Every structure is written in structure tokens, then in C-alpha cells.
Structure 1
């Protein structure tokens, strides 16, 4: 997906303005969770996300979506990763 189409999809899905995030090479973030839903487009580099027993790799042009409060681990590729991400707070239960 290209950047403009991604930003348009975020707007349609009610995400606030997206931000660019850069992570260092070969770093792994152990299992954690976020209080927001995240939808991101990989701009440079690559990363892997492990949720439950599944690991998925994401490269330039790929989009990933993480539900709010979903435990996951992240690993950034040998050249790090830069992604454009929208974050939407989960509703209070």
C-alpha cells in the first residue's frame, strides 16, 4: 500500500493523525500490550510481530493492525524499521 492510500484508510477508520516511528536494528521488545489499537504502514526496513503462537514478518509496503490490549512481541530487522502509525484509543468498557 502507498502512503497516501494508507493515510486515507486511517481517516476513514477514525484514526487520529498518524506519526512516523523509527526503531533501531536488531532490537526485540518482549511481550507487552498497548491501550490503543495500532494500524501501521512499513516505510523502511522490516519487523516481525508475534501474537499468540504466530509470527508474521512485515516489509516495506506492508500494513499491520494490532488490537488494543493484545499481548504481542516485536522484533526489528537488521536495518531497523520505520513505520507510519495511527493509534486509536480503545473505548472504556
Structure 2
């Protein structure tokens, strides 16, 4: 899988959608972050490893390299990181107004 090409296409698409901040994030193996929110909308492309996200509505999904997750502004969720941790490129969009 060519993550460089995927990251480039992801970045271009997110920029067109108004996501102005791009950050690469890395989390350690078997880590977790209990239920929390972010003050921005986020779309993230998994570059390596895996992350499991559970949202407040009970949706529980694992994302792996090449997949994208999307969280709304202030959407409550919890995160678990796989046996190799996770590395992802996240595009953030502040709430208008």
C-alpha cells in the first residue's frame, strides 16, 4: 500500500472540504483514551497500525491502514490502540462561528 499517495489524496480532499489543520499523530501499543471529545471536527487516515473507536451511539469499529474515520465536533468517543499502536494523519476543521 502506497501511504504517501493515499496521504496526498486525503490531504487534497480534506483541504477542499475546509479542513485547515493537518497533524500526524502516533499512539503507543495497547493504549487507550477513555470517553472524551475534541473542539474540532476530525477526519483521519490510518497510516499504520490500528485504532478502535466507540462512539456514544454504541458504534464500535476498528480502523486499519488505508481507512478513514470521521468524528464530528465535540462527538463523545473512546479510543483503543492496537498491538502495534497506531499512526494517522488527521485533518481538523474548527466549528464555524
Shift of 1:91: 2.3
Unpaired segments ≥5 residues, structure 1: none
Distance 2:42 2:21 in 1: 12
- Scaled by the length of structure 1, the TM-score of the pair is 0.93
Q: What's the Cα RMSD here?
A: 1.2
2:28 is the counterpart of 1:15: no
Q: 1:44 aligns with which of 27, 45, 48?
A: 48
- Partner-residue secondary structure (3-state), 2:74: coil
Shift of 1:28: 1.1
- Scaled by the length of structure 2, the TM-score of the pair is 0.90
- Partner-residue secondary structure (3-state), 1:18: strand
Unpaired segments ≥5 residues, structure 2: none
Distance 1:17 1:53 in 2: 28
